[in-house]
Structure 1
Amino acid sequence: MKYDFKFNKILFVKEREKEEALSIYNESVKKFEEVAEKLYELLKKKEDLEEFQSNRLVHGLSVQEVRYHQHFIGNLENLINHQQKMVMNARNRMFLYQEKLLEKNIEVKKLEKIREKDLNLFVEDLKATENKQMDDISIQHFMSRGS
């Protein structure tokens, strides 16, 4: 007798959905890391520029250069603000996909647990059938000896 799980197709579909959710989640993590790295680079660039400007101020700097640096820093701050929004969006998206992955994982675990219980019942039934057959064979053997 061969064991056949009645929800095997559903389990297969749920496992595939879980794999897709994992792939999407991994992609969102990668995207988050890229956006966060870009933000880090912008912040580092701003810090380096401010340090450069303060060093130049010590040695003397023209008003035109100060204006130029302040304008450039202002543009960097706008880019940083935009990038921070992108990081927040990427983080939120990553958390959303993480939740979806957890849901898919739970669905698969539930079906695997059902399959495990169903298999245990199948094995118990199989053992009971085998024991009954052995009893029948023993009775027939005993009866044939007795006659």
Structure 2
Amino acid sequence: MAELSTYHKLLQMKETDKNLAHKDYQDSVEVFEEVATKMYELLKKKEQAEAHYQKQIQHSMQITDLHTSFQYIDRLEKQIANLQQAIHTARSDMQQKQESLTSAHVEMKKYEKIIDRKEYHIHTVRTYEEKKQMDDMSMQQFLSQGIR
């Protein structure tokens, strides 16, 4: 029975590891979503700036206004390029954390399976012992009645 309690303690440790891995994964998902949201907002700004730039080109505007709009779009493109690297890093981190979570979950399930098998084995042995005792008691009772 002490062996079974050891497995329960190991299961608790694995469950704690899984919970920590889950928290790390959730944190990485939040970071990814935050960076992706920033990317979406920048792409939206760029789209609006390009639409504004096209309107400026169609209407006769001053060159300085066109140049300023073009520089703004160029800065947005550079920010987008930087964010793409951040998104790639965040996605890689999120995938690595997901793999860790999966691994921790599998380890926890292994210990649950071991415990289930041990408990089944203990139950089987107990049942066998009880049946054996009942047989012995029946035999003793039969022998004691047969002697009379």
**Fold similarity call, TM over 0.5:** yes
Asked if 1:18 is matched to 2:18, the reply is yes
**Aligned residue for 1:125?**
125
TM-score normalised to the size of structure 2? 0.93
Report the CA distance between 1:27 and its aligned residue.
1.2
**Aligned residue for 1:112?**
112
Q: Deviations over 1:66-113 (max 9, x none)?
A: 111111111111111111111111000000000100110111111111
Q: Which amino acid aligns with 1:81?
A: A
Structure-2 change in CA distance of 1:110 and 1:18 (3 Å): same
Runs of at least 5 residues in structure 1 that lack an aligned partner in the other structure: none
Report the CA distance between 1:2 and its aligned residue.
10
Q: How many percent of aligned residue pairs carry the same amino acid?
A: 37
Alignment of 1:80-91 (within 5 A): 80-91=80-91
Say if 2:25 and 2:94, in contact at 8 Å, map to a contact too. yes
Runs of at least 5 residues in structure 2 that lack an aligned partner in the other structure: none
Say if 1:25 and 1:94, in contact at 8 Å, map to a contact too. yes
TM-score normalised to the size of structure 1? 0.94
After TM superposition, what 4+ stretches of structure 1 lie above 2 angstroms from structure 2? 1-6
Task: Note the aligned Cα RMSD (angstroms).
Answer: 1.7
Local SS of the residue matching 2:69: helix
Structure 1 CA distance, aligned partners of 2:77 and 2:43? 9
